[in-house]
Structures are given as C-alpha cells and as structure tokens.
Structure 1
Amino acid sequence: MALLGGAGGRAAQAQPVAAPAASAQHILLLYAYGYGGRGVELFSEGFFRAITDAGVPVTSVYAEYLDLQRNKDVPGYRQELLDVLRKKYAPRRIDLIVTLQQPALEFLLTDGKEIAPQAPVITIQHRPLLETEKTGRRIVGEINQFDIKGTLERALELFPKTQRVLVASGSSAADVKLVEEAARVFEPWRGRLEFEYTTGRTLDEILQRVARLPPRSIVVFTQYNVDANGRVALAYEAERMIVKAASAPVFGFYDYNLRNGGIGGSVIGVEASGVRTGQMVVDILNGASPPAAGVLRVSESIPMFDWTQIMRWGGDPSRLPAHAVFVNRPPSLWQQHGGPIVGIGVLILVQSVLIVVLLVNIRRRKRVESVLGESEANFRAIFDAMPDAVVFADPGRRIRLINPAFTRMLGYTSDEAVGRTTEFCYADPADYAEQGRRRFHKDVGGESGVYQMRYRRKNGEEFWAETSGAQILGPDGAVFGLMGMLRDITERKRAERILRESERRFSDIVEVSADWIWEIGEDGRFTYVSDSVQGMLGYRPDELIGKTFFDLMQPEEAARVKALTADTVARRASFRDFENINWHKAGSPRHVATSGMPILDGEGKLLGYRGLNRDVTERKLAEEALRALASDLAATLRAIPDLLFELDAEGRYVKVNAARGNLLAAPEVQLVGHTVSEMLPAEAARIVLDALAAAARAGSDYGRVVALPLQGGTRWFELSVASKEGDAATRAGGARHFIMLSRDITERKSVEQDLQRQTEELAQRNEELERFNRATVGRELDMIALKQQINDLSRRLGLDPPHALAFLDPPGRPALEDGVQ
C-alpha cells in the first residue's frame, strides 16, 4: 500500500533497541514496508508525539520494518524474518501491537500468530477486516480509505473543462486492485471524460507519458509499489518524479502530495492518522474501554490544496467547498498592511488621550471637564462612525465597550455583549482559543497580523470577516486592555468571485480565438474579420469587410437565418452556437456554429455585434453518419426475432434486447444486474456458463441448447456466444463481456420430436407387420402341404386331385404328378 511510503529500507530493524524498565508497558510497531518512506516518517512523527505527550517513553516502543514487498520473491525470507522476531520478542512481554498497512497485519495473523498472541492489535489499513481476521486476536483500528470520488469532484471543480484523466499507478497486484476500484468509481463520468491508466507500463514510460499530455488533462496518482518490469520505488518518490515531469496538475490521496509539488485533492492526513493511533494506544494502555473488536473506524479525508499550484495551472478555487484548506496562500492587502492600519488607529486614540493630557496641563482646571468632554465626544464620534466592528476588552477578554458597527454586524446590543468573553462571537470555539494564544497570551506578547475566520451573528448566521487586534499596554508595559476589529468581507468575496468570473469569460474568448472572430456594425456589415476565416471559408479578411453574413449563404439559407435571428437582434440579446450553412469560396458548403453578443454604447444603444464562427462540418457529417448507423442498427435489432443479451464473465446480465418479451425468463428490468444462476433453472444456467467459459477460451461458442419453462409451456433455445473484445471494461482491467444470441427453436424441436415419435411408431408397426406376415405365410404353407397330400392320395385312389396347385410349378416345368419329385 502507498499509505506510508511503499518499499525501501532495511528488513526487520528494531528501533529503539534499549530495553525499557520491567514495569513499563511494551508496544510493538510493525511496518509492512522498509525504512525511509516519507509517509512512514510523517505517521511516526504524529504517533510518537501523541504517546510522549501522554507520558509513554519512546523506549517502550519497538519498531520493525518488515520490508515484505521488496523481498516477497526472496526464498525463505518470511521464515527467516519470523525466526528473528521470535528470538527478539520471546523474552519480552508485548502489551500492544500496532500494524501499519495490510501486509503487516496479514503477516502477524499467519506467519506471526505466535508473537504475543495475548496482545490486542491496532491496525491502520485500507479495507475492513475479513471475517477470518476477526477471530483469535482482538483487533481495532482505523481505515484510511481513499476518497477517489471526492478527489475527482474537487479536480473538476478546479478545472471544469477537463477532458482527459490519466490515472498514474504501479503494476503490483495491490496497485491494479486500486486502479480497478478507481475505474468503478469513475464509471458515471465515462463518456464525458476520457480515462487512461498506466498499469502495465514501466516507470520511465509513465514519466514520458505524463510529460506529453494534451491540454485539458489532469493526473490522479493512486499508489505505486512496482512497475511492469518489477522496479521497486517508494510511492512518495514515484509521485515526486511524476509531479516533476507532468505537463498537467497532479492530484493525490495523501497530504504529502502537496509536499511533492502536487496540487492536492481530498486527502488523508498521514501525520494526523499517526496522532490518532498514538492516542488510541495511550487509551488502551491506560485501561480505557476500547472500541468494539473487529470494527475499524473510517478516517475522514479533507479537501486540501496548494494555492501556488492552483494559480500555476489556472484553476478556479472559488468553486471548491467553503471548508477547503489552502497552503502557500499569499496574504491579502489587509493581511499585509493590517498591522499599520491598526497601529494608526491606536495612534489616533493615543494622540487623542495625549491631547487631553496636554490640555489639562495648559488650561485652567475649570476648562478641563469641558475639554475632556469635547475629546471624549470626538473619540466617541470617531468610534461610533467607524464602519468596522470595534471591541475593547479587559485582559481576561471580557467585553468592556463595543461600537454601533459591532451591533449592526453581529446583532448584539451593548447590554447583551458587555461583561461576556468574546467566545460567543466565534463560529468555531477553536478559533477563539487560537486567537487568544496568538494575540493576547501573556507569554506571546501579542502576534500582529490580519486573519480571515468565521463568526456567528445573534441569529445564528455564520459569516466571514477579517480580524485584527492588539494588546493595550500601560506605561509600565503591563497589559491593561485588548482591542479587536472585525471587517465583514462578504461583499468583497462576492466582488472577488465576480472578478474571477469576468477573468474566466475573458480567458474563454482568448481560448476560442483560433476560430473565426468577427465584428459587424449596426447595419450588419463586417467591420472586422480575423485571419482564421481564410482557413475556414477560403476568403481573405479584406474580401469580407463591408459584406454581410447573408452574402456567404444560399438565398434559402439566408432567408431562414434572417427569420430566426430577427427577434434576437430586436431584443439586443446574445446568442450561442446558432448553426447555419456558409459556402466556401471554392463552392462547397460548410456548417458553422455562430455565437455573438451585442455591442452597446453607454446609453444602451446597439452599435453592432461581435462573436465567433466555429467550423462544425465534420461534426455534422459525423452526426449524420452516426444517426444513419444508429437507425440501421435499431432497425436491425427490431428485425431480429432472436433474444440478444450482453453478459459478463460471471453470467450477469448487462444489457437485454428482446423483440418478443414473452420469451424472457423474467422482465428485462429484473434481469439486468442479476446472474443467470439467479434467474434461470440450474441446468439452463450451467449450460449458459459453460458456453461463456468456452467463448472465453476460443472467442466463440455455438450450438448449445437450453430448455426454459415459460408461461404457455416449455420453450427451447439455441445459444450462440462471442467474446466482446476491446471494450472499455476489459481495457481498464475489468471482467470480459460476452454477446449471447438466443434463438427460439421450439417449433423445430417440436417437429424433431414428432418425427422421432413417428419413426418409432413406424418401426413398431413394421415389426408387428413382420410378425403378422410370418404367421400368415406359415399357415398358407401348411395348407398347401395338406392339399398336396390330399391330391396325392386322390391320385393313388384313381380320383382326380380336388385342389389346383399348378401355380406352384415353375414355367416350363412339367406339372407334379404325384407330389414326389
């Protein structure tokens, strides 16, 4: 896994090696990969900070870098590693085990099952526990689940015109599995975005590819263990090389993407994950009630981005969520000069006090109260007139004075606010604590600067404001008061958003300037034509100045366009992608899409239009061809009486086309998404799956027959199956799909059965006829023999034979005289 840096470092190196006191509790930390990964360092920093802050000594922790990925093909490595671990930890009591990345837990549950079997386990990994992993050891922990969908959504918010997404990853089994998951997540965007995957490529090939990406591309780095040639590298290092070579912004799933020069994404905080793990260790060692065994909590990803990278690639940060975090964001004008502004304000107030003091010293006592009253009135007038909210508080941050702008901004009157701490003004209590630490803590001395943060009005509405503040010091340097100022920046943010939108519109115009740019006057004649018209229509710009659009059209087309645009021009409205047909100078028609906006003077009078024409001839021809093809295909499908299915390798229905719905085993909506094993009788499902398997091996399979019990009786179907080669799912590493044609052969089957039955009946009757013939002929031969005997006896008695038996004598042969030859 890429969570903590991939492969690298030394195998089974324990750190530290110093033995703790006998009464100390021992923690074994198992890293799946080698030492040196940047992610490992970040996690470890957070982990050790959390446990040492809680009083757990570092000497109580043993860290092992198993280096399983890099040595997975080394014969006997796992056994030798296990022998070393047994020897090291058999004499020590291990009270808790922490595994980092999935391979470390798998090693512990299989090879290392004899290592501290009584110790509970905290695991940090990318998936929930399997059922087989929930038995035996007591396992809790955290799932660092990649926010693949959130990262792509944030990327498209920054770059809404994105057309291509290159998914950069390694080629190990874990790398490929994550890419397959990403492909499923990206499915809703397929068709609008083009996705490209680097599995099966070497690292050098990946670097060459990201360096030559077309415009409107982004890169999403998933993880890296090894490339197609088996080259092992740290995920952190591979990502850094990709960021350095890429010609497009690189998004990632971990916060160290930003340290590599990436733009960020919906990321997992690696160091924060280490802190949470350390706190969980402390809780368990202190006897706190642990989480339910076998259930891993899911860590939350946060949208975090590098401001300098957003500006470098021309992204639009205003489209990101309000809670997005930015690093390397330059200070605003108020942040740069807020200190002097506050200082001037304080100086004015101090000068007012000094003026009062000076007046007291140079005027008589009877005028002191008058002067002080006037000074206070002046101060109050300035204080009340300030558009920003101003609040004075004591050193404990309890409010002593607010101005009217404070009431207008937050909704609290002086009676409601005075005497309370300023915590109620903040939307997030953590901001109140942080501001106190930065500005007003006695050991800090008051940090100057201007900050933007959220506040909450009395009605519960949250808003953004710029805040500045300072300590008010007495002559002896002691803090006797605090002053804070709030400036509502809601309108400024709206103005900034409008400005960005204006800049984006200008950028759009510049971007389409490769098309034919034009301007026409109030009379509709060209006053400006860009050079690109020559490539589109064959005319030089000077040939069109003074002419109109209608001079480039056939009369019928000109009349149509005039009728359709008359109302738009009369309303002085903009129009976009109005399709019309112009004629090339060489005499061929060209389809163009025209967009324009009115040119108005200061009084709103129409001076003309300006806009652009885009050649869409090839698109129109392609659309016509596609419509014709779609029409032919639809007609063909309607004409086919057979059932047509698309299935995956598991026999799951993906698509169904049935001209005769009564021949389906279930309605189409019930079939799609279910397997043949779920929807067909067992024997029929087995035959279909055998056909898919045969087609997977040979490319196609024909002639298998299935019987289905449908309404109205059993129907017979003959199957023809072919593998669907080159589809998007197969290219993305997904399961292969198949096309299956199911032909109703019930009538043919009925005829075959009738013929078989008739053949069997005919054979039976022939057999009966033979038996009858044999019996009949036997009786006739016996009768003839008896007649011969009677004739012979009659002759001997001198009588004429009573029976004529001449038909027994062959032609030309003398008749029998006495029955004896």
Structure 2
Amino acid sequence: MTSKPSYEDLEQRVAELEKKLETTEHFYNNILNSIPDIIFIKDDSHRWILLNDASCEVLGHERGELIGKTDYDFHSKERADEYWEKDNEVLFSESLNVNEELIADAHGNVKTILTKKSVFKDDIGNRFIVGIAHDITEQKRAEHALADSERRLADIIEFLPDSTWVIDIEGRVVAWNRAIEKMTGIKKEEILGKGDYEYSIPFYGERRPTLIDLILKRNQEYEKRYLSIRETDGELAASVSFSPSFRTGGTYLEGKAAKLYDAEGNVVGAIETVRDITAIKRAEQDRERLITELKEALANVRTLSGLLPICSSCKKIRDDKGYWTRIEAYIKRHAEVNFTHGLCPECAEKLYGREDWFKKGKSTE
C-alpha cells in the first residue's frame, strides 16, 4: 500500500507543472510572435483573448491594451461592422471562412489582407474564433498594375489601323480588333476563345495554318503557298499571300507575325497584323504589263538615224560599205518597211501627158 504524498510533495509537483506550463506557453508564444502574419483568437463575444506581435504592430497598441477589447474599440464603425459580420458567419456555420478585407494600420495606411477564420471548441463547449491574416497589399497592387497594363495593351490592339488578332499557345483567339472585324465581317464576340484555325476561314475558305501559326510552328508545305515570305533573326517577319476566296476577284494580303513572351521569356502566343494590298499589287501588275507591251512594241520598230548620203539626181543611198542602193530597198532593209509603187500627179503628167488615153482619162475626172 502506497503512502499518500505529503503537502510538500504536492506543492513541489504543482510548481513543476506550472514551470512546465510556463515553458510551453513561452515556447508557443515565441512561435506565434515569429510569424509575420496576423494571428488572433476571439471569444464568442468577439473579444480578443490572444494576439501575436504582428497583430499588435498593425493595431499600434501593446498587447495589454488589446486583450479583452473588440474591433469597435480600434476601428471605424463601418469597418468593425464588417469584421463582426464575418465573425458571426464563422461562429454560426462553424466552417472555415476565407475573404479579403481592408485594414488600417496604426499609421493610417490601408492594407489588403487575406483572412482565414475558423471555430475552435474547448472541452466544455466554449467556442473561439481563430484567425490568421496575410498582408496581400503588394500582390493586389501588382495584380492591378498587370490588369491596367493588359487593359492598355488591349486598347492599343483594339484601335490599331491594321487588322490584328492574337492567339494563345493553344491557338485560341484572345484578341480581335475593330479593323479585322471590318475586314472579315466577324465580330469579336463570335470568335474570341475559338481555336482550330477558325480565323483562317474568312481568308482562305478553309481551316489551315496561317502566318500566325507558322511563327509558332514552321511548316514548309504551307509556307510555300505564300507569294513571298522571309525570315528575320529566326522569325517570320512578313509575307504576301493571295486569297482567291476572299472578296470578289480575290485579295492580296500582306501579313506580319511575331511571337509573344511572358516575363520569364516563355512563348505564350503570337500576334499577326494583315493589310489589304490588292490595289498596290494590281497597279504593279498593270505597270509590268504596260512595260512588257512597250518593250514588245519597241522590239518591232527599227529607226533610222544619222546622216544618209543620197544622190541628188537618182536618189540612191550609199550604205556603210560604199554601195549605192535604191532608196526604197535601203529603207526596207533598215526599217522593215515594204513599198507599193505608184505615180504622183506631177510624174504622171511628165511621163504620159502627151498620150491620148491619159488625156482622155484626165478629162473624165
């Protein structure tokens, strides 16, 4: 039979337990206070019963000034109402609640925090709100800056004078500006998010890779279909293609395409601009045809130039070899001209003026 512990033994045991409890509390408090996120515990009356150093720093008060107080003691009524409402949702549903909240620190700076709250029950049924909040102010600023940048880029693309569209790495249309709406007659609402070469149908009447696809994945078969295409620094820079099914009589298009990259240098899509150059190509073709016709006409024309020695009596011409040639033979040889012979009135009078048949024919005129 064991003897009962003495009063001194009990006191020593209690002291040991208190010391152990103090050590444990100190250990866990050190952990909580080393965490940069806001950590707090509230009772079911919304009063703080525990706050780590980060919480005290944001509120700008010592822990002793905060314990037992509520949000209404340190925040505006409007903001405290919001916190109180979220606390009640957690208490009544006893489920995890995650939401973004605004909080003003001790210096009046408004920050955005992502708060997670849940309910903890002790052995006798008391309920406590356990919360942890992470400062996401810089993240939100970065998101807003990115959204503003994307919006500005979208506006720039929207109002470019050339027909322009953008696809992602999967080939889905993510931008379709006003100019290409007007060119193709297809509204952005009808094509945004579509892939499988949907954007090629208005130009070629079929689903097929276009320049924007070739910039992402080269394909010699389709590259040969372009009238001209060139590569600059390893990328397709420009091309001219003829689309027989696009508009009456077909259309000549000049396109430019480039890859799009993210901040880490990864390819995330491509952009293409298209310009209708049919009028320019038709003018070039007309000019080339006219030049060809003129060259052919000039090839059939032989001209005489320089000084020609001609006999003042018989009118024979001396050629460059010293031979005298009848004028009609010389011109025929050098100008590809054929002659027909006849008599002018003066010569006819001189030769046949005394002949009766001539006189008779002349009197009947």
Provide TM-score, normalisation by structure 2.
0.50
Question: In structure 2, how many angstroms separate the alpha carbons of the residues matched to 1:737 and 1:597?
Answer: 40
Aligned twin of 1:705: 240
1:604 counterpart = 2:125: yes
Matches of 1:614 and 1:620 in 2, distance apart? Answer: 12
* 1:523 alignment partner, SS class: coil
In the alignment, what sits opposite 2:163? 642
Q: Tell me which residue corresponds to 2:41.
A: 519
Query: C-alpha deviations, 1:57-76, integer Å up to 9, x for none?
Result: xxxxxxxxxxxxxxxxxxxx
8 Å Cα contact 1:720-1:741 kept in structure 2: yes
Q: Note the alpha carbon deviations across 1:122-163, whole angstroms, 9 max, x for none.
A: xxxxxxxxxxxxxxxxxxxxxxxxxxxxxxxxxxxxxxxxxx
Q: Which amino acid aligns with 1:531?
A: D
Q: Which residue number in structure 2 is paired with residue 695 of structure 1?
A: 233
Spell out, residue by residue over 1:216-267, the C-alpha distance to the aligned partner (whole angstroms, 9 max, x if none): xxxxxxxxxxxxxxxxxxxxxxxxxxxxxxxxxxxxxxxxxxxxxxxxxxxx
SS in 2 for 1:631: helix
Matched-pair contact (CA < 8 Å) for 1:655–1:672: no
Alignment of 1:580 with 2:119, yes or no, is no
Could you list the runs of 5+ residues in structure 1 that have no partner in the other structure? 1-505, 731-735, 768-788, 790-821
Structure 2 residue matching 1:634: 3-state secondary structure: helix
Aligned to 2:254: 718
Distance in 1 of aligned mates of 2:208 and 2:88: 49
Conserved? CA contact 1:647–1:737, under 8 Å: yes
Measured in 1, the distance between the counterparts of 2:258 and 2:209 equals: 23
For the residues of structure 1 that align with 2:262 and 2:236, how far apart are their CA atoms? 18
Amino acid at match of 1:680: Y
Equivalent-residue separation in structure 2 for 1:558 and 1:625 (angstroms): 29
Which whole-Å deviations, capped at 9, do the CAs of 1:368-412 have from their partners, x for residues lacking one?
xxxxxxxxxxxxxxxxxxxxxxxxxxxxxxxxxxxxxxxxxxxxx
Residue number in structure 2 paired with 1:750: 279
| Residue number in structure 2 paired with 1:151 | none
Structure-1 separation of matches of 2:213 and 2:291: 48
Measure the CA separation in 2 of the matches of 1:737 and 1:581: 34
Please show how residues 182-193 of structure 1 align to structure 2 within 5 Å.
none
Work out the number of aligned pairs and report it: 242
Secondary structure of residue in 2 paired with 1:532:
helix
> Structure 1 residue 531 and structure 2 residue 53: aligned?
yes
Query: Secondary structure at 1:680's aligned position in 2?
Result: helix
1:532 deviation in Å? 1.7
Report the alpha carbon displacement of residue 575 of structure 1 after superposing the two structures with TM: 2.7
Contact between 2:46 and 2:87, CA under 8 Å: does it hold in 1?
no
Q: Distance in 1 between matches of 2:67 and 2:218?
A: 68
Contact kept? 1:643, 1:743, Cα under 8 Å: yes
Aligned-pair distance for 1:593?
A: 1.8
Q: For residue 741 of structure 1, what is the aligned residue in structure 2?
A: 272
Which residues of 2 match residues 363-442 of structure 1 at below 5 A? none
| Equivalent residue, structure 2, for 1:677 | 219
Q: Which amino acid aligns with 1:587?
A: G
Cα distance in structure 2, aligned partners of 1:515 and 1:751: 65
Structure 1 position 592 matched with structure 2 position 113: yes
Per the alignment, do residues 556 and 596 of structure 1 end up closer, same or farther by CA in structure 2, a change over 3 Å counting? Answer: same
Paired residues of 2:257 and 2:271 also in contact (CA < 8 A): yes
Secondary structure of 2:39's partner? strand
CA 1:529–1:664: 2 relative to 1, 3 Å: farther
Are 1:620 and 2:158 an aligned pair? no
RMSD in angstroms over aligned alpha carbons?
4.8
Q: In the TM superposition, what whole-angstrom CA distance separates every residue of 1:98-137 from its partner, at most 9, and x where no partner exists?
A: xxxxxxxxxxxxxxxxxxxxxxxxxxxxxxxxxxxxxxxx
Taking every aligned residue pair, what percent have the same amino acid on both sides?
17
> What SS does the corresponding residue of 1:612 show, helix, strand or coil?
strand
Which is bigger in relative contact order (C-alpha 8 A, separation at least 6)? 2
Write the letter of the residue equivalent to 2:48: F
User: Would the alpha carbon gap of residues 727 and 708 (structure 1) be closer, same or farther in structure 2, given more than 3 Å must change?
Assistant: farther
Quote the offset at 1:620 in angstroms.
1.8
Matches within 5 A, 1:280-359: none
Q: Give per-residue Cα distances to partners, 1:528-560, cap 9 Å, x unaligned.
A: 211122444544333422332344544333334
| Displacement of 1:592 | 1.4
Unaligned runs of 5+ in 2: 1-27, 181-198, 298-345, 347-365
Aligned with 2:225: secondary structure? helix
1:781 alignment counterpart = none
In 2, Cα distance between equivalents of 1:737 and 1:592: 31
Q: Is the 8 A contact 1:536 1:615 kept in 2?
A: no
Take 1:621 and 1:535, find their aligned partners in 2: how far apart are those partners?
Answer: 22
* Deviation by residue 1:321-351 (Cα, 9 ceiling, x = unmatched): xxxxxxxxxxxxxxxxxxxxxxxxxxxxxxx
Matched residues in 2 for 1:528 and 1:592: separation? 19
Q: Is the partner of 2:100 in helix, strand or coil?
A: strand
Give the 3 Å change call, closer, same or farther, for CA 669–553 of structure 1 in structure 2: farther
Q: Displacement, 1:625?
A: 2.0
2:166 and 2:270 in contact (8 A); partners too:
yes
The Cα of 1:587 is off from its aligned counterpart by: 0.9
CA distance in 1, matches of 2:208, 2:87: 46
State the alpha-carbon separation in 2 of the partners of residues 738 and 703 from structure 1.
Answer: 17
Q: C-alpha deviations, 1:676-702, integer Å up to 9, x for none?
A: 537736231x844x32xx232xxx775
Q: 1:679 to 1:624 in 2, by over 3 A?
A: farther
Greater Rg, structure 1 or structure 2?
A: 2
Equivalents in 2 of 1:538, 1:664: separation in Å? 65
Residues 563 and 515 of structure 1: is their aligned pair in 2 closer, same or farther, counting only changes over 3 Å?
A: closer
Cα 1:538–1:711 change in 2 (3 A) is: same
